[in-house]
């Protein structure tokens, strides 16, 4: 989960709908947790086990799990904040879809390649997964509820699909996913038509300062919405 989401809470710390679903984008880790609750309480599924069987085991992601495994102890990384403060690695014992997953660079890259190729999905499902279902009209992604509306991103068609952000590039549509917590940062972006992807992972949030320049160097001058994502003007 993006740790920045926790910096804005209701005064009474209760969840509320601030606008009608489907009318405006806003990051919601709590929304992911509600989806997990529906699957576990409504369908009686163990989300951690389902993800292990349906994704991690299926695609050979041997060092990925929704909960901590003791065999991870031989190779893991603590994190560092913007100020250089050490953040010890969390060893979570309960599956939490908004942020409990442990993984490796190799496993995440394997999953990203699977997504880029559309493996395990019908053509219709693959197209729906990265179809822009809602436009983004906020100046920045965080803080979530305080952003004024803007048409700044219309030129690149910035929006959100099913779990992926999307935007248009000279090379075709791109889809992306960020991750940020105290001490960790990651960024993945793919140009769908070219099946070109880049994955950046770091155990220091300071790495976000070079994410955009690395993408430009390795994938070309993509119109990344860097300021919206919190990576600076790019």
**DSSP string covering 12-65:** T-----SS-TTSS----HHHHHHHHHIIIIIS---HHHHHIIIIITTTT-TT-B
Percent of the chain with pLDDT over 90: 82
Min mean pLDDT across 48-57, 92-101, 139-148, 182-191 is at 139-148
pTM for this one?
Answer: 0.91
For position 154, which CATH number holds?
3.40.710.10
Residue with tokens 């994704």: 55
How far, in Å, CA of 88 to CA of 128, rounded? 38
Structure token pair of residue 61: 């992601």
The pLDDT value recorded for residue 204 is 97
Residue 3 has pLDDT above 80, yes or no: no
Evaluate whether residue 22 is within a structural domain: no
Mean pLDDT within 208-226: 96
Mean pLDDT within 129-135: 96
The string of pLDDT tens digits covering residues 20-31 is 888 899 988 888
How far, in Å, CA of 76 to CA of 89, rounded? 8
Range(s) of the domain holding residue 119: 27-67+79-229
Evaluate whether residue 217 is within a structural domain: yes
Residue 166 has pLDDT above 80, yes or no: yes
The number of beta carbons lying within 10 Å of the beta carbon of residue 34 is 14
Evaluate whether residue 14 is within a structural domain: no
Evaluate whether residue 17 is within a structural domain: no
Question: Which sign does the torsion angle of CA 212, 215, 217, 223 carry?
Answer: negative
CB-based contact 25:136 (threshold 8 Å): yes
Residue 4 has pLDDT above 60, yes or no: no
Domains in the chain: how many in total? 1
Mean pLDDT within 172-189: 96
Evaluate whether residue 141 is within a structural domain: yes
Residue 8 has pLDDT above 80, yes or no: no
How far, in Å, CA of 167 to CA of 160, rounded? 9
How far, in Å, CA of 46 to CA of 141, rounded? 31
The pLDDT value recorded for residue 17 is 81
How far is residue 6 from each of residues 80, 144, 149, 180, 205, measured CA to CA in Å? 18, 10, 22, 12, 16
If residue 108 lies in a helix (H) or strand (E), which one and from where to where? helix 105-117
Evaluate whether residue 34 is within a structural domain: yes
Q: 3-class DSSP state for residue 200?
A: strand
Residue 2 has pLDDT above 60, yes or no: no
Evaluate whether residue 197 is within a structural domain: yes
The string of pLDDT tens digits covering residues 38-64 is 999 999 999 999 999 999 999 999 999
Evaluate whether residue 131 is within a structural domain: yes
């Amino acid at each position: 989960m993006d740790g920045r989401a926790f910096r804005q809470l209701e005064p009474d710390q209760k969840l509320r709908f601030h606008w009608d679903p489907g009318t405006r984008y806003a990051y919601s880790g709590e929304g992911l947790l509600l989806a997990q609750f529906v699957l576990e309480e409504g369908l009686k599924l163990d989300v951690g086990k389902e993800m292990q069987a349906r994704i991690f085991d299926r695609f050979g992601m041997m060092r990925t799990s929704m909960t901590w495994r003791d065999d991870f102890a031989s190779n893991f990384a603590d994190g560092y904040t913007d100020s250089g403060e050490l953040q010890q690695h969390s060893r979570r014992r309960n599956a939490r879809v908004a942020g409990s997953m442990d993984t490796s660079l190799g496993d995440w890259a394997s999953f990203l390649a699977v997504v880029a190729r559309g493996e395990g999905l019908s053509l219709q499902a693959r197209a729906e997964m990265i179809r822009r279902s809602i436009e983004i009209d906020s100046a920045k992604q965080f803080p979530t509820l305080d952003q004024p509306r803007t048409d700044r991103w219309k030129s690149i068609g910035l929006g959100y699909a099913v779990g992926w952000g999307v935007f248009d590039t000279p090379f075709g549509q791109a889809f992306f996913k960020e991750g940020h917590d105290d001490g960790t940062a990651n960024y993945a972006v793919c140009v769908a038509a070219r099946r070109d992807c880049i994955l950046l992972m770091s155990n220091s949030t300071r790495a976000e300062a070079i994410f955009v320049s690395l993408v430009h160097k390795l994938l070309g001058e993509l119109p990344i919405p860097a300021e919206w994502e919190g990576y600076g003007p790019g």
